[in-house]
């Protein structure tokens, strides 16, 4: 048999804390590489699971695999997502503590796949609830619907989630799933009207065109060919080899029924999807006074019907802007460019509000039907967070700014919770805490979110000066306000050395994961996210029941400015952090092995970046600050008792005393280990390896 040592050489260690040279990034990556080569995609950093996307079906998520990981101790089986799933579930059952599994990683790293596997694990292995067994199906079926409307093919991922998702699964006191709730974050709505080369719009459009019945398409006034729609041709890639739109359509149609959509609601929903496509094909021509006129009557006719809005109202709204001056309403005509802008803004608003409505509708369907019964109060919750990872592109804009801010917040929470749980464990075990040096990224969070002085505040302030403020005045104000901040830089503030790499319309943030340069173009507009008043009015008059729920008249009379996008996002993040803080955390860190979506390729440069962005070295350092390894006395004794005549075959006394006898016999030096209340703590991996190797002899 292969000795443990040579096996370690070949497949690496299954927990990074056992790396001898734990501060070396090279050693870390080498360990990942070895395991990846052997199709071992999972490795721990203590309780954190690191996962590398294999880009192939490894057949490791079967029912047998689920059974294998049920009820066993985390460290006694090879690392696996199901071990995380089961550990969280058992803590939820036995300690009745809410759990949260946070899944992070860059686009294409496998977050959504992991979320789906986790849900499947719970759906298949948990007992069925006494009543309302349908909730299991609903939990599973909500996913294809959300993906159809919120996912798209991008250059990085053929099924990229273009929104952040947090999902709660509620369990009753018997551990059966009885309900759920979803929170969604920042849908990338710009995709509705524009896609980069090689990318697509949201899946639902192609699914409907490919799979929709003749009758349906006729009603909606749609042609099958995606090339007919301007909103679908920009990326020039309607067909994707890994995607079967026709099949997916069937799945989505069925799923809609499972999550309680009536036939009428499906019709209303599809009317909206179709109306977005028609909107995209609305053309304008300029009259003698350069004012925009709608030239595509047919599209307007379908829009009128599908949205249930008067044709004349819609026509006027698309070509005019209503201004209220001194209490009087004035209609000011739009030129071609402004009309196209208004049209696109409407398409984005219609789509993104429909998405929000969809999430609310799914939530009603997932709401526990037992909400009124006493057992409801004793439910526990397991949350799954599938949210965008750190993003650095060639050109980074407002969206990346929001996403990276979100990652700063989650990193902060991670550090806080990890340090706290380490400290708590030391305390519980009666072992002296040895302070850990770590980088606290609170300073960057503050830079972004602080009242008055933070970047978001300054951006909001500029958004309050329409007509005067521009993206560049925003940048100037930033320069004035945060010029001495160690994590902030602009062209003006940079010294000779760094100035070259910074453009004039840019600012740079030194994130915990590295530097990112943001281009301010579009910041004000995206943060304001205004829809012209008459477009809103038109939509408020819609007779499509979904639209009339999405556009409420109270919006028109509301004197208060709606919160800006960044502020809304900030508040939803603060809420998310509170939710997560109230739960016991588990972490899955996903890594993408290459940019080609190919199996077997381990691109070291790419992976090194991710190890950095995910803060894995820092994580390992905190975990290894004191002791590499800790195990319950019972488990330790059980495994190694054969190495000592006094503990073999049975140790009759307390396990702790048995372990004391055992390690003395093995010659552990006092500085190598500590005895806690229930666990032994071993400082260096080599001590453990020597013991492990002794087993093999
Ligand atoms: P995004 O941020 O773009 O939404 P993501 O992290 O959610 O990305 P996924 O959609 O989960 O990425 O994964 C991308 C693709 O990688 C999947 O469609 C699948 O083909 C493959 N993949 C991911 N995880 C696994 C896995 N565990 N086993 C096999 N294939 C996987
Ligand atoms: Mg995803």
pLDDT digits (tens, 9 = 90+) for 50-76: 999 999 999 999 999 999 999 887 777
pLDDT of residue 132: 66
Tell me if 61 CB under 6 Å of ligand 1.
no
Tell me which of 52, 65, 81, 110 to substitute to probe ligand 1's pocket, judged by most ligand atoms within 8 Å of the beta carbon.
110
Kindly report the protein residue whose alpha carbon is nearest to atom 27 of ligand 1: 53
pLDDT over threshold 70, residue 375: no
Nearest to 601 by CA among 588, 592, 613: 592
Cα-to-chain-centroid distance, residue 183? 11
- CA separation for the pair 35, 80 (Å, rounded): 13
Tell me if 388 CB under 6 Å of ligand 1.
yes
Tell me if 112 CB under 6 Å of ligand 1.
yes
Tell me which of 42, 113, 158 to substitute to probe ligand 1's pocket, judged by most ligand atoms within 8 Å of the beta carbon.
113
Interface confidence, given as ipTM, is 1.00
- CA separation for the pair 276, 302 (Å, rounded): 11
- CA separation for the pair 659, 639 (Å, rounded): 11
- CA separation for the pair 154, 688 (Å, rounded): 46
Tell me if 293 CB under 6 Å of ligand 1.
no
Kindly report the protein residue whose alpha carbon is nearest to atom 21 of ligand 1: 55
Atom of ligand 1 nearest to the CA of 41: 27
Q: Hey, which residues are catalytic here?
A: 107-108, 112, 157, 160-161, 389, 391
Q: What is the pLDDT of residues 89-111, one digit of tens each?
A: 999 999 999 999 999 999 999 99
554: phi > 0 → left, psi -120 to 50 → alpha, else beta; which? alpha
pLDDT over threshold 80, residue 310: yes
Q: What is the pLDDT of residues 598-656, one digit of tens each?
A: 999 999 999 999 998 888 998 898 888 878 888 999 999 999 999 999 999 999 999 99
Kindly report the protein residue whose alpha carbon is nearest to atom 19 of ligand 1: 55
Kindly report the protein residue whose alpha carbon is nearest to atom 20 of ligand 1: 55
Atom of ligand 1 nearest to the CA of 109: 6
Nearest to 633 by CA among 660, 608, 607: 660
Tell me if 105 CB under 6 Å of ligand 1.
yes
Identify the nearest ligand to the CA of 154 by its number: 1
State the average pLDDT over residues 678-683: 94
Tell me if 110 CB under 6 Å of ligand 1.
yes
- CA separation for the pair 256, 173 (Å, rounded): 29
Distance of CA 178 from the midpoint of ligand 1 (Å): 27
Tell me if 235 CB under 6 Å of ligand 1.
no
pLDDT over threshold 50, residue 1: no
Dihedrals phi, psi of 333, to nearest 5 degrees? -65, 150
For the entire predicted model, the pTM comes to 0.92
Q: What is the pLDDT of residues 487-532, one digit of tens each?
A: 999 988 888 777 778 899 999 999 988 899 999 999 999 999 989 9
Nearest to 285 by CA among 234, 319, 331: 319
Distance of CA 386 from the midpoint of ligand 2 (Å): 7
State the average pLDDT over residues 183-209: 96
Q: State percent of the chain over pLDDT 70.
A: 97
Nearest to 256 by CA among 306, 207, 210: 207
pLDDT over threshold 80, residue 3: no
- CA separation for the pair 117, 348 (Å, rounded): 32
pLDDT over threshold 50, residue 280: yes
Tell me if 161 CB under 6 Å of ligand 1.
yes
More confident residue, 130 or 234: 234
Q: What is the pLDDT of residues 403-437, one digit of tens each?
A: 999 999 999 998 888 888 888 889 999 998 877 77
Look over the chain and give the mean of its residue pLDDT values, rounded to a whole number: 92
More confident residue, 400 or 440: 400
Nearest to 190 by CA among 400, 21, 392, 373: 400
Q: What is the pLDDT of residues 141-187, one digit of tens each?
A: 999 999 999 999 999 999 999 999 999 999 998 999 999 999 999 99
Identify the nearest ligand to the CA of 590 by its number: 1
Comparing 290-299, 618-627, 676-685, which segment has the lowest mean pLDDT?
Answer: 618-627
Distance of CA 694 from the midpoint of ligand 2 (Å): 45
Contact 276, 344 (CB under 8 A): no
Atom of ligand 1 nearest to the CA of 55: 30
Tell me if 160 CB under 6 Å of ligand 1.
yes
Identify the nearest ligand to the CA of 403 by its number: 1
Confidence band of 371 (pLDDT split at 50, 70, 90): low
Atom of ligand 1 nearest to the CA of 103: 6
Q: What is the pLDDT of residues 531-584, one digit of tens each?
A: 998 999 999 999 999 999 999 998 888 777 889 999 999 999 999 999 999 999
Q: Which residue matches tokens 């985390």?
A: 74
pLDDT of residue 677: 96
Tell me if 159 CB under 6 Å of ligand 1.
yes
Cα(first)–Cα(last) distance of the chain, in Å?
A: 11
Within 57-164, residue ranges assigned H as helices are 63-69, 81-94, 111-125, 134-150
State the average pLDDT over residues 584-595: 96
pLDDT of residue 372: 53
- CA separation for the pair 530, 344 (Å, rounded): 12
**Lookup: tokens for 93:** 């059952």
State the average pLDDT over residues 40-52: 96
Q: Which residue matches tokens 């691109």?
A: 603
Identify the nearest ligand to the CA of 55 by its number: 1
Distance of CA 634 from the midpoint of ligand 1 (Å): 39
Comparing 311-315, 371-375, 687-691, which segment has the lowest mean pLDDT?
Answer: 371-375
Q: What is the pLDDT of residues 613-629, one digit of tens each?
A: 888 998 898 888 878 88
């Amino acid at each position: 048999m292969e000795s443990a040592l040579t096996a370690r050489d070949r497949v690496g260690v299954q927990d990074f804390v056992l790396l001898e040279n734990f501060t070396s990034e090279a050693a870390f990556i080498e360990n990942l590489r070895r395991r990846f080569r052997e199709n071992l995609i999972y490795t721990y950093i203590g309780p954190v699971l690191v996962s590398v996307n294999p880009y192939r079906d490894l057949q490791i998520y079967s029912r047998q695999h689920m059974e294998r990981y049920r009820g066993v101790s985390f460290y006694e089986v090879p690392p696996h997502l199901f071990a995380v799933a089961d550990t969280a579930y058992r803590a939820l059952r036995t300690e009745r503590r809410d759990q949260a599994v946070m899944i992070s990683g860059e686009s294409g790293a496998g977050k959504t796949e992991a979320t789906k596997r986790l849900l499947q694990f719970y759906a298949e292995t948990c007992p069925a609830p006494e009543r309302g067994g349908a909730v299991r199906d609903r939990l599973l079926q909500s996913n294809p619907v959300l993906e159809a409307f919120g996912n798209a093919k991008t250059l990085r991922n053929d099924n990229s989630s273009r929104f952040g998702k947090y999902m709660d699964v509620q369990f009753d006191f018997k551990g059966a799933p009885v309900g759920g709730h979803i929170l969604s974050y920042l849908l990338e709505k710009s995709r509705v009207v524009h896609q980069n080369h090689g990318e697509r719009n949201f899946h639902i459009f192609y699914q409907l065109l490919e799979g929709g019945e003749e009758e349906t398409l006729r009603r909606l006034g749609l042609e099958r060919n995606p090339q007919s729609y301007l909103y679908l041709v920009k990326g020039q890639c309607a067909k994707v080899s890994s995607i079967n739109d026709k099949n997916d359509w069937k799945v989505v149609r069925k799923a809609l029924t499972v999550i309680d959509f009536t036939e009428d609601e499906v019709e209303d929903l599809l009317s909206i999807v179709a109306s977005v496509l028609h909107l995209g094909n609305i053309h304008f021509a300029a009259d003698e006074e350069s004012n925009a006129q709608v030239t595509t009557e047919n599209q307007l006719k379908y829009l009128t019907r599908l949205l249930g809005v008067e044709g004349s109202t819609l026509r006027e709204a698309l070509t005019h802007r209503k201004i209220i001056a001194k209490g009087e309403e004035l209609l000011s005509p739009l030129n071609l460019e402004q009309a196209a802008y208004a049209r696109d803004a409407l398409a984005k608003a219609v789509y993104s509000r429909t998405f929000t409505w969809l999430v609310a509708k799914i939530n009603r369907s997932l709401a526990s039907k037992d909400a009124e019964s006493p057992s409801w109060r004793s439910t526990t919750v397991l949350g799954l967070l599938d949210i965008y990872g750190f993003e650095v592109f060639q050109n980074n804009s407002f969206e990346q700014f929001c996403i990276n801010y979100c990652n700063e917040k989650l990193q902060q929470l991670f550090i806080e919770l990890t340090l706290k749980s380490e400290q708590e464990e030391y305390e519980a075990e009666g072992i002296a805490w040895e302070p850990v040096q770590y980088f606290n990224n609170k300073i960057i969070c503050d830079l972004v979110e602080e009242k008055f002085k933070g970047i978001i505040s300054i951006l909001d302030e500029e958004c309050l000066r329409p007509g005067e403020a521009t993206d560049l005045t925003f940048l100037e104000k930033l320069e004035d306000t945060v010029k001495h901040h160690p994590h902030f830089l602009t062209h003006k503030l940079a010294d000779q050395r760094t100035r070259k790499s910074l453009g004039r319309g840019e600012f740079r943030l030194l994130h915990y994961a590295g530097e990112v340069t943001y281009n301010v173009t579009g910041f004000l507009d995206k943060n304001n996210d205004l829809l012209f008043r008459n477009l809103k009015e038109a939509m408020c008059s819609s007779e499509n029941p979904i639209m009339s729920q999405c556009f409420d008249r109270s919006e028109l009379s509301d004197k208060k400015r709606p919160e800006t996008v960044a502020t809304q996002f900030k508040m939803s993040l603060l809420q998310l952090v509170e939710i997560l803080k109230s739960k016991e955390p588990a972490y899955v860190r996903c890594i993408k092995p290459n940019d080609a979506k190919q199996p077997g390729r381990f691109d070291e440069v790419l992976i090194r970046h991710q190890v950095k962005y995910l803060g894995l070295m820092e994580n390992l350092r905190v975990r290894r600050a004191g002791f590499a390894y800790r195990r319950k006395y019972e488990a330790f004794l059980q495994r190694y008792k054969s190495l000592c005549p006094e503990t073999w075959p049975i140790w009759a006394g307390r396990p702790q005393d048995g372990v004391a006898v055992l390690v003395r016999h093995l010659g552990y030096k006092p500085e190598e280990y500590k005895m806690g209340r229930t666990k032994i703590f071993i400082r260096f991996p080599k001590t453990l390896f020597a013991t492990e190797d002794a087993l093999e002899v």
